[in-house]
Each structure stands twice: as C-alpha cells, then as structure tokens.
Amino acid sequence: MPSNINMQGKGLKELVRTAFSKKIAGVLSALIAITIFSSILSPHFLTSYNITIIIRELAFIGIVTLGQTMVLLTGEIDLSVGAVAGFCSVMAGKLMVELNVSPLLSIILALILGSLCGLVNGLLVTKLKLNALVVTLGTMGVYSGLNLVITKGKSITDIPAHIYFLGQGMLLEIPFPLYIMLAILIVLTFTAYNTTYGRHLYATGSNIEAAEIVGLRVDAIKIGAFIISSLLATIAGILMIARLGSAQPAIGQAWLLPSIAAAVIGGTALTGGEGMPLGSILGAAIIGVIENTIILLGVSPYWQTVVSGTVVVAAVSIDSMRRMIAGKK
C-alpha cells in the first residue's frame, strides 16, 4: 500500500512540474486566450451547463488522445483509434444485450478485445516492418467493417441502466468520465517520467537506431504503445455507450483527427521522442472549446470536421517550422 501511495504522489508531482514547464505554459496560455475569446463571442459559453458539456466531451476525446500520444512518442501513429472504440464498444453492447453477459464481464472482455486490436497493430508494424500509417489505415477499415457487420448499421439498445453512471453520472458536480480521464493522465504521466518503460519510450522515438544499439527492446516498446492506445480507445467507447444508453455504430468516428491534433497542439512531435500527456489534454481542451463555440454561434456542426482538419494541418505546420528554426540554431 505505501508503494502505491508513493507512486501516486510521484505522478501528481510530475503532473504539477510539467504544468509549469515552458511549453505547457504556452499551451495553457493559448487555452485561456481562446476561452476568453469564446466567452466574448457567446454569453452562453461560461454557463455551468455549457462548461459541463465541454468537460464531459473533453473526457472522451482526452482519453483517446492520451493513447494516441503514447504511440506518437515512439515515432509511429495510430489511425485506428476511432474504429477500435466503435468496434469494441458495440461488442460490449452485444454481449450485454443479446448474449446476456453481465455488464462487468462484458466490459472486461471488450477491454481484452481492444488490447488484442492494439497487439495486432503493433505486431504488423514491428514484426513485418510495415509503415504504421498504412497498417492502421488498413486495420481501421477492418475494425469499422466488423462494426457494421455486427450491428448491420443499427444501434444496440437496452444497455443495462446501472452502468449509465459511468457516462452520465456526476460526482461533486463534475462529470464522472473526467475522473477516469484524470486517473489515466496521472498513471501515464508517472509512466512517462518515472518508469523504465517511459524512458525507453522517449529514447525509441528520439533515435531508434541508437535505442537498438544500446539494447532496448524497441519492438516490445512500440507494441506496448499500440496496446495502450487501443485499450484507452476502448475505454472511451465503453464510456460513450454508458453515456448514450446504446451501442451505436458511429461511436468513435469523429475521434481520429482530434486525437492527433490535440497531441500535436500539446507539444507531441510527430517524429517521436517529444511530448507529454498533460500537454495533449490541454490540446484536447483547446479543440473542445473551439468546437463548442462553433455550435454556440449557430454554425453547422459539420464544420467541426473542417476545423479539426485545419487544426491538424496548422499544428503540424507550426511543429515543422519550430523544428526547422531549432535546427538552424
């Protein structure tokens, strides 16, 4: 028990330390500026009801973004996160509703399935030496297709009501999914900065050749990152079926671009070896505020995809320019 408390303490200390780093301070300043601007544009922005909506949505995309960040740190990318979330969540729903499996066991089996999806991605990338972009694009199609085969494009309703709290519940006037996201954030922050795996994760992304020379198990490190990514995407999918009260085929479809954009905005380099979980969450918050403001202003929600794509391009461009300038210096 004391070791667990010590672990949590270190994770919290690292979270606080990174919160005051120069890069995080810049992202936080941008979030504050955008929040102020949004509150000026819409008088409804700072209402408690709207803030609750933003926080709840942040929890879902934040969890997916944290998983994506782990993969990006290795210098790879996971395009299948949304498809995995949708596939595994409908499988959980099918187990609960159509096969009468207990909700707890259904969730556990879905998490195992999600981990296996990540394992497949990782094995294809490492053992067959395939490009992660191509591999996860392909598995995205496979998982999305299986999703539609299982559901025939229809929602699975009558999800047991006693799991609704996971997605709909409030604790101390704060949406329960946010607590889950924060717990994951603390664990991953501790992992990134206070464990051997975390240090090897950064080393692999920074210089894979050097990592291999010094004897790091690069393949295992990457596979682990893909498993974490798919596992967290599955958690977000399960929270979403608890939120909606049904397992819908569309779950996760809009999570891919924001998960990449949020990570890059938060300081994670697409080339690997640089970034931090807290920055990714702040990046997700920035995107969430922008998308929420679009809705409050009466702009068509279809523009959210346009905004997400634009933010991805802008974030990548800024990251590239920053690296060019740093290289010249």
Q: Is 55 exposed, middle or buried (0-12, 13-18, 19+ CB in 10 A)?
A: middle
pLDDT for res 326? 59
Indicate whether 3 pLDDT > 50: no
Domain ranges of the chain: 2-328
Residue 4 pLDDT class (50, 70, 90 cuts): very low
Residue 123 or 48, more confident: 123
Question: What is the reported pTM?
Answer: 0.87
pLDDT for res 78? 93
Residue 16 pLDDT class (50, 70, 90 cuts): low
Distances (CA, A) of 15 to 2, 23, 66, 195, 321: 20, 14, 14, 15, 28
Residue 4 or 308, more confident: 308
Residue 79 pLDDT class (50, 70, 90 cuts): very high
Residue 164 or 11, more confident: 164
Residue 214 or 328, more confident: 214
Indicate whether 323 pLDDT > 70: no
Return the structure tokens found at 276.
């931090």
pLDDT for res 63? 95
pLDDT for res 71? 95
Return the structure tokens found at 142.
């496979």
Q: What is the pLDDT of residues 171-224, one digit of tens each?
A: 888 899 999 999 999 999 999 888 899 899 999 888 888 888 888 899 999 999
> CB of 251 within 8 A of CB of 237?
yes
pLDDT for res 13? 56
Residue 158 pLDDT class (50, 70, 90 cuts): confident
Residues for the chain: how many in total? 329
Mean pLDDT of the 123-132 span:
92
For residue 291, give every residue at least 6 positions away whose Cβ sits within 8 Å of its Cβ, in sequence order, or none: 304, 307, 308
pLDDT for res 7? 43
* Residue 173 main-chain phi, psi, to 5 deg: 65, 15
Indicate whether 110 pLDDT > 80: yes
Determine the topology of domain 2-328 in CATH: ABC transporter involved in vitamin B12 uptake, BtuC (1.10.3470)
